[in-house]
Amino acid sequence: MRGPGRWWRRQSKPEKVETYTRWSFHSFAVVEFVTIGIMTVPLGAWPGAVLLLTVAVHVGVCFVTVSRALDWTRGRRPQPVRLLWTLAAVTSAVGLSAMGIADGGPDSESVDAAAGGTFGAVMVIGTGIIALGVRGRRRVFAIPAAFAAGSFVVAFTRGAPVGESLFASTMVLFGGGLIAFTAVVSVWLLNIVYELDEARETRTRLAVAEERLRFGRDLHDVMGRNLAVIALKSELAVQLAQRGRPEAVAQMVEVQRLAQESQREVREVVRGYREADLASELAGAQSVLTAAGIDCTMSGATAAGLPVAVQSALGWVVREAATNVLRHGDARRCAVRLRISEGRVVLSVENDGVTEAGGGSSGSSGSGLAGLRERLAEIDGTLEAGPVGKGLFRLTAEIPLPSELARSESVAPVRSMSEVTP
């Protein structure tokens, strides 16, 4: 059981919904085979075996149609038009075979009941599964209407009264229409789940792109003016040098000064980008995780009063943990706690929905976790990460505080992420 369980946990939410939908419709075919197998007992050895064999063929075609139709709805293959017509033909053939056995088989009520039940089950299941491979409400519900009309014709031509023929066709219309409606709703829900998952991925990519744009704007603001002045002064120096004027040296000295100043300003921009603010990262993490449908809560102490180096390191921990909660596992809840205890500041990030293959809030390996450990080691901090229970993963970062802050541990508790927003 470990193999199937591990495979199921590795699936994403949309993949789990698709698997559930696929096997729900497969189960209709299984129920058809089992039910008809029980009903064919009164038919005797040869009629029952022949009918059961034709039903097995029908069930096999239903299985293939379900898989191909769902693949088509997800855009993985063309619409299985020929297969849909094949299933319609097989459904009609099995239904007519059941009626033929009822007419030519032993004359008993049990045989008539078994043949009639077989006819109805095959018509209802076949109609509903054909609807999986069709788009448009009118086309979908035209399928059970067509089979219901055919059922009326078959029943009436066999000599059944009009009332019984109408009853048989109504049952086919109702049963087939119900499964067809189930098919429409199931495909609709499946597409919505995939679209929501794609929207969450898009939000994550947009957040990264927005941060890159912000960094690009900062670099443009810093370098734009200096580069323009450097270009002008370089051009002026070239013209002066061509004329043998000594002022060219002064212009190149000014170009050198501007280049050094620009280099210093770029380093400051990069340093500001790398030194993450803890309060901002906590608020940003909640915003991103909440947008992705994950319940994110924060408790403990505020970030106010912590040294800049400590805030920067812990901010990177929060940033990396939030990013990996989105990328790995199937989290529904994430809890962040910040506390000061025994002269150390402790930040823990715990999330559920961990899979064996996906890892937790920071994964079990990779450059992200190693980079965090290196960053924390520079200020004597430590990082621990690993599973703490069934489906739970916890990342804990500890950093020692300076002696004057370690002696003063009176920090204000917070109840929501908004209270730590700068």
Average pLDDT (358-368) is: 49
Give how far Cα 264 sits from Cα of 224, 276, 308, Å: 14, 19, 21
Q: Is the pLDDT of residue 99 over 60?
A: yes
Instruction: Give the type of residue at 402.
Output: P
Which of 160, 129, 142 lies closest to 27, judged by CA? 129
pLDDT band of 346, cuts 50, 70, 90 = very high
Average pLDDT (146-154) is: 86
Cβ-proximal residues to 318 (8 Å cutoff; 6+ apart), any chain: 276, 278, 281, 282, 285, 336, 347, 349
Average pLDDT (233-258) is: 85
Which of 356, 342, 359, 370 lies closest to 394, judged by CA? 359
Q: Is the pLDDT of residue 364 over 50?
A: no
Residue carrying the six token digits 């056995």: 101
Residue carrying the six token digits 């790398």: 274
pLDDT tens-place string over residues 395-405: 999 999 876 55
- DSSP bridge partners of 399: 345
289-318: string of b/e by CB count within 10 Å (b at 16+)?
bebbebebebebbbbeebeeebbbbbbbbb
DSSP label at 365? S
Cβ-proximal residues to 278 (8 Å cutoff; 6+ apart), any chain: 303, 306, 310, 311, 312, 314, 315, 318, 420
Q: Higher pLDDT residue, 39 or 413? A: 39
Q: How far apart are CA 362 and CA 52, in angstroms?
A: 55
Q: Which of 58-67, 316-325, 408-417 has the lowest mean pLDDT?
A: 408-417
150-173: string of b/e by CB count within 10 Å (b at 16+)?
bbbebbbeeebeeeebbebbebbb
This prediction has a pTM of 0.54
Q: Is the pLDDT of residue 370 over 70?
A: yes
| Residue 327 φ/ψ, nearest 5 degrees | -85, -35
> What pLDDT is recorded for position 348?
92
Candidate ranges 117-126, 157-166, 321-330; pick with highest mean pLDDT: 117-126
Instruction: Give the type of residue at 383.
Output: L
346-373: string of b/e by CB count within 10 Å (b at 16+)?
bbbbbbbbbbeebbbbbbeeeebbeebe
Q: How far apart are CA 25 and CA 124, in angstroms?
A: 13
Q: Which of 64-73, 129-138, 182-191, 355-364 has the lowest mean pLDDT?
A: 355-364
> What pLDDT is recorded for position 336?
92
Q: Which of 79-83, 106-110, 135-139, 346-350 has the lowest mean pLDDT?
A: 106-110
- DSSP bridge partners of 400: 344
pLDDT tens-place string over residues 37-94: 777 666 666 666 777 888 888 889 999 999 999 889 888 889 899 999 999 999 888 8
> What pLDDT is recorded for position 315?
85
Q: What is the DSSP string of 275-339?
A: S--HHHHHHHHHHHHHHTT-EEEEEEE-STTS-HHHHHHHHHHHHHHHHHHHHSS--SEEEEEEE
Q: Sign of the C-alpha dihedral, residues 340, 346, 349, 350? A: negative
3-state secondary structure of 243: coil
> What pLDDT is recorded for position 358?
46
With 0-12 / 13-18 / 19 or more C-beta atoms within 10 angstroms meaning exposed / middle / buried, residue 75 is exposed
Cβ neighbour number for residue 400 with a 10 Å cutoff? 16
Q: How far apart are CA 281 and CA 277, in angstroms?
A: 6
Give how far Cα 124 sits from Cα of 52, 89, 345, Å: 17, 14, 65
- Helix H or strand E encompassing 369: helix 367-377
pLDDT tens-place string over residues 179-200: 888 888 888 888 888 888 888 7
Q: Is the pLDDT of residue 20 over 70?
A: yes
**Are the C-beta atoms of 395 and 348 separated by less than 8 Å?**
yes
Q: Higher pLDDT residue, 131 or 210? A: 131
Mean per-residue pLDDT over the chain, rounded: 78
- DSSP bridge partners of 348: 337, 396
pLDDT band of 421, cuts 50, 70, 90 = very low
- DSSP bridge partners of 344: 341, 400
Q: How far apart are CA 51 and CA 227, in angstroms?
A: 86
Q: How far apart are CA 258 and CA 238, in angstroms?
A: 17
> What pLDDT is recorded for position 411?
43
Q: Which of 173-177, 223-227, 261-265, 363-367 has the lowest mean pLDDT?
A: 363-367
pLDDT tens-place string over residues 255-295: 888 888 888 777 766 666 555 678 878 887 887 777 667 88
pLDDT band of 109, cuts 50, 70, 90 = low
- Helix H or strand E encompassing 70: helix 45-73
